[in-house]
Structure 1
Amino acid sequence: MGLSGAALAASHGDDHGHEERAERALVILTSDSLQTQGMAMILANAMQQQGTTLQILLCDAAGDLGLEGYSSEGINTPPGHPMEQVTPEAIMQMMMREGASVDVCAIYLPNSDHGEDDLREGVGVAAPGPMAEMMRDPTIPVFSF
């Protein structure tokens, strides 16, 4: 919450030069709950539509979203959403087509029966150092689900 607050405070400050800096956010998804995964992706998609450059990190059970061929159940979307039902991975793939970066946690593959060849096209494996840098950067809010 401190990182989010710092980023929010910075966004309400002097807007001079705002066009020169890209707003970024890190979304960390670990939950195996279908509704939590869906809402995380719906909110991340809304942030992206509002101009935020997204880095999505899939850990633990949520790492399955990054696997080629993985298909979860559809979830009903909120009123006003353009689709009546959608899967978390479908929203994620749509965001990837719009420029979102998606990685699985560095320990996801070594602790599963999967390898890098099993990941969806465009999904990478996160390196702890760069992820830690993003988490420590006070200008990048971190959202965890």
Structure 2
Amino acid sequence: MKKTLLVSLSLCSALLAGGTQAGEIDKALVVVNSGSLQTQGMAMVLANAMQAKGTAVEVLLCDKGGDLALKSTQNPTLKPRDVTPEQLMGKLQQGGAKVNVCALYLPNSEHRQQDLREGVGVATPPAIAEQMIDDDTQVFSF
């Protein structure tokens, strides 16, 4: 319930800060910390919807959310479209989104950079901090 509230508050604050017109958010940073399949799926669905409306989307995968970046991760499909969060993430990447794991993810796991899916990088704290304080970027956390 706390995660749902956090996501809802993030979306409400985006509407209040950026208006209610579609496409008013120039850039979005979508941070996925949750290992929940449905939470990851919804984060990717919403990120794709924002991208379709012209928002430049970047994804940061941290903690259990970082597992989505692994080549070995194969989640079951989600209804109603029968797609996985990783397939939705791939669609985002095809649309130009950058996807990175948190700087702490690899050093604190058994995984290495070569275990990451193609096109997934490793974020640097200064680059992410710059995005987070950029007035044109809205941060969404799942």
Q: Which TM class, normalised by the smaller chain length?
A: 0.7 to 0.9
What is the 5 A alignment of 1:1-145? 1=10, 4=14, 5-6=16-17, 8-9=18-19, 23-77=26-80, 84-145=81-142
Alignment partners' CA distance in 2, 1:128 and 1:94: 25
Q: Deviations over 1:82-126 (max 9, x none)?
A: xx3110000001110110000000000001100011111100000
CA RMSD of aligned residues (A): 1.9
Deviation at 1:3, TM superposition (A): 6.6
Flag as ranges the 4+ runs of structure 1 deviating above 3 A. none
Instruction: Give identity over the alignment, percent.
Output: 50
Q: 1:15: which partner in 2?
A: none
TM-score (norm 1): 0.82
What letter is aligned with 2:112? G
Query: 2:76 is paired with a residue of what secondary structure?
Result: coil
Unaligned runs of 5+ in 1: 13-17, 78-83
Query: 1:75 is paired with a residue of what secondary structure?
Result: coil
Alignment partners' CA distance in 2, 1:53 and 1:76: 26
